[in-house]
A and B are shown apart, each in its own frame.
Chain A
C-alpha cells in the first residue's frame, strides 16, 4: 500500500482517502503543508472561514527508525499573521501517521452547527464522533479521559478553550508519551483554524499499520546510523550532553549573560534573577521533586531534551518547560519564580495557548497596566479569564498585537502580528534579520539550521559586517529543508560540527524516497519551499513593509549593550 492523503470535509462530515499525487512524491513535513496550502487555499480568504484549510503532515522519515525524527508539521493560513504558516511539534502522533502511510490530513470546509467533532482514524477507516461534551474543558482532564476511552496506544491531537474562542494565540496540541497535552504546534493560531471548522480532536490508532515504506533499506540504515553517531558524540546532543541534562532551558543563563534575554517586555537584556528560572535550577528541582528528566517527546529520540515538570512532591505533572516558554512566561513578564512559570505553562497547555504568544501577550498587558510586571498570580488570573471566556479572556486569547491595541500599548514586540521569541534582536542581529524576513512572522526556528559554509552556499557572518541578508537567507532555506524531512531541528548542531551527520540526513531521506539527492540539493529544495511561502504571502497582500521590526527596536537602546537593531531596510529587503 502506498502513501495517501486523507481529505476531511467538515461541511459534510465526510472523510476520504486519496492517492498521493505524484507531484508531491518527494515531499513531507513543511514542504508538503506549504505546497498544499499554496495550491488549495485562496491567499486572501478569511483564516477562520470555510476556504482556509489546516494540513497535517509528518516528515519524510517520520515513523521509521531514523533517530530524533518524530516531527509533525501543521500548515494553513494564519489568523495571527494573515500569511502562510507552518508550525511543528515532536510527537508520536506524527510517527503513527507515518506508519499508517498517511502523508497528509487536509481538513477543509466548516461545520455549520454549534457542535464539535472528534475524528477517529484507524487502519480500517474514519469515524466522526460528537465531541461537544469536551467544549469548555481543560485539555489535561480531556486527554486523560480520551486515552481512557480510546486506549493508551492512540495518538491525540486537539485544540482547547482558546481555540474555541477562535483566539489567534491558540495552538494545536499533541500528546507526549505519557499522554500529557504538552507537545504543541503552537505558533500562528492554527488551533483557531481547526476549531473554526468544528474539529476538536483527531485520534489516530495505528493498529495494523504497514509501517513507513522504505525504498532502499540499506541506504536508509546507513544514513540513520551516520546521523545517530553524530548525535551520540556532540556535546549538545549526546546522552548527558547539554540538552539531555538541562533541556532547552540550558540557554536561559547563556542568553542572559550575553545581554540578550528580553526582560519585562523587551526593556532590558540582562537581569541576574534569571538564575532563579534557569535550566540548572529546573533540572535540580525536577530531581528533588521526582519529575522526569531527561525524557523524549517521541520514541527514538537520542537527544531527549524533554522532561516532566511537576509541582513539589512530584504532583500534577505539567510536561516540558521549554526555554522559550520559561522566558516568555518568566523573564519577559518579570516573573522569576519557577513554580509560577510552571503553573502558567500548565494553564497554557490546558487552554491550548501558544506559550510564546501568551508570554508576550501577558507582558504587553503588564505594560498596559492590566497587572504589574512580576505578578505571577495575576498572570494566572488572566489565564482564568480565558478559561471563563470573558471579554478580557477573549482579548488575551488573540495574542500580543491585539492585546497591545486593546490596552493602548505602543511597544508591541511582533513581526507580521506574531510575538517575538526569546532573543532580543538588538544585540543578536542575525536572529533579528530572520525575525523580520521569514514568511512565518517572528520565529526563531526559521533561520538556524545547517551553517552556510557546510551547504557550500557561503555567508559566514562577520559581526562587524552589517551585511547579514545572505546569511539569513541561506539559514532560512536550510531550515525549510530540515522541517520537511521530519528530523528535529536540533540535529543541526551535530551536523554543523560533524559533516557525516548531514550526509546521514540526506542518505536516510534518499533511502525512504528512492531518490538521489545530495547535500548540494538541500539549498534548491529549501529555496523552493521558501519561494512557495513567499508567493502565498505576496498574494495575501504582504509587501516589503511587513518585513520590519517594530520601531521601538530602532529607537530604544537595550541595556547592557545599549544598542538598537540598526540593520537597514535595504539590507532586509535583500534577504529575499
Chain B
C-alpha cells in the first residue's frame, strides 16, 4: 500500500479527518502507477498543492526558499512539476495544500 499523508485543507480528502491525528490514506497502487495518476484517481488538483514530499524528500514546492534551505530533495530542481514518477507499495507521500505555504519560518 502507498501511504498518503494530507495536511491543511487537503485533509478533506481523508474520510473522518481530524486536525489532531495523522491524516493518511492507504492506497493500493495500480500497475504502472505514477504520482500523477494517483493524484488524478484521488481527484486532488495539482493547483491546490503547494508542496509534495516523496519518502520524506522534497519533490516539488512553490516556495522559492527551497533553493537555499538544503532540504533532502528527490530531484535537483524542486520546481519541476512533472509528476510522472513511478510509485510503489511502501512509498510515503506527504502533500501540503496552498494554505500551508511554508518550508521555513
Contact = CB atoms under 8 A, between A and B. Distances in A.
B and A form one assembly: yes
A497 interface: yes
Contacts of A364: none
A89 to B, nearest CB: 15
B67 A461 contact: yes
A280 B70 contact: no
- Which residue, B7, B70, B71, has most C-beta atoms of chain A within 10 A? B70
A461 B70 contact: yes
A360 B37 CA distance: 43
A58 to B, nearest CB: 23
A280 B11 contact: yes
Contact of B56 (A274, A471, A561): A561
Contact of B72 (A243, A258, A452): A258
A452 B69 CA distance: 12
Contact of B68 (A235, A258, A273, A471): A471
Interface string A413-450: 00000000001000111111100000000001000100
Contacts of A251: 102-105
Contacts of B50: 235
Contacts of B71: 258, 260, 427-428, 463
A281 B20 contact: yes
A312 interface: no
B104 A448 contact: yes
A453 B50 CA distance: 22
Contacts of B105: 243, 248, 250-251, 323, 490
Contacts of B65: 448, 451, 493, 496
B19 A242 contact: no
A257 B57 CA distance: 8
A242 B70 contact: no
Given A242-B100, A242-B101, A245-B99, A278 B68 contact: no
Given A242-B99, A250-B100, A258-B53, A468 B8 contact: no
Nearest to A287: B19
Given A428-B71, A451-B68, A463-B72, A253 B20 contact: no
A480 B93 CA distance: 37
A236 interface: yes
B68 A452 contact: yes
Given A258-B72, A284-B20, A464-B76, A496 B100 contact: no
Interface string A250-267: 110110011110000000
Contact of A254 (B11, B22, B57, B100): B100
Interface string B44-57: 00000011010111
A280 B76 contact: no
Contact of B102 (A254, A259, A468, A475): A254
Contacts of A490: 105
A251 B63 CA distance: 13
B88 interface: no
A351 B67 CA distance: 39
A54 interface: no
Nearest to A445: B105
A512 to B, nearest CB: 27
Q: How large is the interface on A (under 10, 10 to 19, 20 to 34, 35 or more residues)?
A: 35 or more
Interface in B56-94: 56-58, 62, 64-65, 67-73, 76, 94
Query: Interface of chain A, helix or strand or loop or mixed?
Result: helix
B67 to A, nearest CB: 5
Nearest to A235: B101
A423 B71 CA distance: 10
Given A250-B100, A276-B20, A561 B72 contact: yes
B51 A254 contact: yes
Given A284-B20, A427-B72, A561-B56, A236 B99 contact: no
A538 B18 CA distance: 51
B101 A236 contact: yes
Interface in A80-96: none
Contacts of A428: 69-72
B70 A430 contact: yes
Given A496-B64, A561-B56, A278 B101 contact: no
A241 interface: yes
Contact of B5 (A243, A248, A257, A468): A257
B100 A246 contact: yes
Given A280-B7, A429-B70, A463-B76, A257 B22 contact: no
A560 B56 contact: yes
A118 to B, nearest CB: 34
A460 interface: yes
B67 A460 contact: yes
Interface string A544-561: 000000000000000011
A149 interface: no
Nearest to B52: A257
A463 B102 contact: no
10 contacts: A257-B56, A259-B56, A259-B72, A260-B71, A278-B20, A284-B20, A431-B70, A448-B104, A451-B64, A461-B67
Interface of B: 5, 7-8, 11, 19-24, 50-51, 53, 55-58, 62, 64-65, 67-73, 76, 94, 96, 98-105
Interface of A: 235-236, 241-243, 245-246, 248, 250-251, 253-254, 257-260, 269-270, 272-276, 278-281, 283-284, 323, 338, 423, 427-433, 444, 448, 451-453, 459-464, 468, 471, 475, 490, 493, 496-497, 560-561, 563
- Closest 3 A/B residue pairs (Cβ): A430-B70, A257-B94, A259-B56
Given A242-B99, A272-B5, A428-B71, 4 more contacts: A251-B103, A278-B19, A279-B100, A563-B72
